[in-house]
Amino acid sequence: MRVSYVQRCYYQPVTEYVRKSYYEPVTRNYTSYYYEPVTTYRYTTYYDPCTGCPQRVCSPCTSYRMRSKCNSVTSYVERCAMVPVTTLRPVTVRQPVVSYYYPPQPACPPVASAAPFIPPSGPSVEQLPASPPNVTQERSGT
């Protein structure tokens, strides 16, 4: 058995949460109060002692009344959010590869050393015919 290692590389998706901040407009209405001057005029009549004729005199009279005014104010508020961001991160691993080694089988079975070699029985050279029979091949289709 032989163990070797193969290096493999792949990309793995990784999701991280990143803090993002942004500004959001917030509008508020405020009511302010103030005093407004109001001027009225009064006409009075009196007699002039020198001439004896009536004279009209205009006299200003100032008073104040309360008024309200609606004001809108826009301010910006910082907001935070956690936003998922997915990136591909390279990963390198070493994987084991196991190889099994089997020795080659011998081509011939082993010879038993105790048994003597006995040649196969067959005709001897003297028993073979002097001239072998003629063998002719037939040709087909001619």
CA distances for 111 relative to 81, 106, 114, 121, angstroms: 85, 12, 9, 20
Q: What is residue 103's predicted lDDT score, i.e. its pLDDT?
A: 74
Whole-model pTM? Answer: 0.33
Q: Which of 6-15, 57-66, 69-78, 103-112 has the lowest mean pLDDT?
A: 103-112
Domain boundaries, the chain: 2-101
pLDDT tens digits along 46-62:
888 888 888 888 889 99
CA proximity to 76, closest of 15, 21, 124, 133: 21
The pLDDT > 70 percentage for the chain reads 75
Q: Which of 20-29, 63-72, 118-127 has the lowest mean pLDDT?
A: 118-127
Which pLDDT band, with edges at 50, 70 and 90, does 133 fall under? Answer: low
Which pLDDT band, with edges at 50, 70 and 90, does 67 fall under? Answer: very high
Judge contact between 56 and 43, C-beta under 8 A: yes
| Per-residue pLDDT at 77 exceeds 60 | yes
In eight-state DSSP terms, residue 120 is P
Q: What is residue 57's predicted lDDT score, i.e. its pLDDT?
A: 87
